[in-house]
């Protein structure tokens, strides 16, 4: 099958089919080269770092992860012996008011602070939705952290957060498949994915696939 035929077939796939394909690919042994040793092994433990640096917007205190949050988060961020992430796709699905958005914002902040020139996208149906949870909690955590607040630049709109110390950037985006084609991101957060049913939403999901 030619590349054109492959793209045509992929564009006709439902979001459920794409998710299923991603999960199958994830179960296939990864043959990509390991990370540069100096890039990964010097990074702090994600769980410990989050509990030492991520402030909750409503209490102004550092987050303390519950055991039922800690275990799946450790699993989601685990790496193999070569330093590669074991999972490229994580579905974080919890009941309401279980701090889902806060935990995701904490992971975003961890990557922004510990990966040079990282690129992170928070995507939802519109900018308001993309910013209303994870983006807001991320900005508040930065403002509440006396160590980190000076090294971050937040645009007046709040839709772009940049770590001036290492060049890492997080952006909040609406559904725009054409505008986001060809990205090279380190983390993509898709909000309320269960409601992504339109052709534009499904195409956006395909375009936002992480590079190998």
Query: What order do you get walking across the sheet with 152-154 strand by strand?
Result: 152-154, 160-163, 169-173, 119-123, 187-190
Count of Cβ atoms closer than 10 Å to residue 37 Cβ: 10
What residues contact 193, with CB distance under 8 A and at least 6 apart?
Answer: 15, 91, 205
pLDDT for residue 78: 93
Strands 152-154 and 119-123: unpaired
pLDDT for residue 38: 41
- Radius of gyration of the chain from its Cα atoms, rounded to whole angstroms: 17
Terminal CA-to-CA distance of the chain, rounded, Å?
21
pLDDT for residue 212: 60
pLDDT for residue 63: 96
Between helix 46-53 and helix 100-114 the angle, nearest 10°, is 100
pLDDT for residue 1: 53
pLDDT for residue 158: 83
pLDDT for residue 97: 80
Q: Which residues of the chain fall short of a pLDDT of 70?
A: 1-42, 126, 129-132, 176-183, 208-209, 211-212
What is the spatial distance between Cα 126 and Cα 175, in angstroms, rounded to a whole number?
A: 6
pLDDT for residue 110: 97
Q: Summarize pLDDT for 44-98 with one digit per residue, the tens.
A: 999 999 999 999 999 999 999 999 899 999 999 999 988 888 998 888 888 888 8
Q: What does pTM read for this prediction?
A: 0.76
């Amino acid at each position: 099958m030619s590349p054109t035929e492959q793209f045509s077939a992929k564009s006709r796939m439902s979001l459920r089919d794409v998710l299923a394909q991603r999960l199958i690919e994830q179960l296939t042994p990864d043959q990509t080269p390991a990370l540069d040793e100096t890039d990964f092994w010097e990074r702090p433990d994600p769980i410990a770092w989050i509990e030492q640096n991520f402030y909750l917007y409503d209490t102004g205190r550092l987050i303390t992860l519950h055991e039922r949050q800690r275990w799946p988060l450790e699993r989601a961020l685990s790496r193999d012996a070569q330093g590669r992430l074991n999972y490229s796709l994580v579905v974080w699905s919890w009941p309401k008011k279980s701090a889902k958005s806060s935990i995701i914002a904490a992971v975003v902040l961890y990557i922004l602070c510990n990966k040079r020139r990282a690129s992170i996208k928070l995507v939802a149906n519109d900018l308001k939705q993309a910013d209303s949870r994870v983006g807001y909690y991320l900005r508040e955590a930065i403002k509440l952290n006396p160590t980190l607040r000076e090294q971050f630049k937040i645009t007046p709109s709040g839709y772009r957060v940049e770590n001036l110390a290492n060049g890492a950037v997080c952006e909040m985006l609406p559904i725009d498949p054409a505008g986001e084609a060809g990205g090279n991101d380190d983390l993509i957060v898709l909000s309320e994915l269960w409601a992504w049913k339109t052709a534009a939403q499904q195409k956006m999901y395909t375009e936002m696939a992480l590079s190998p």
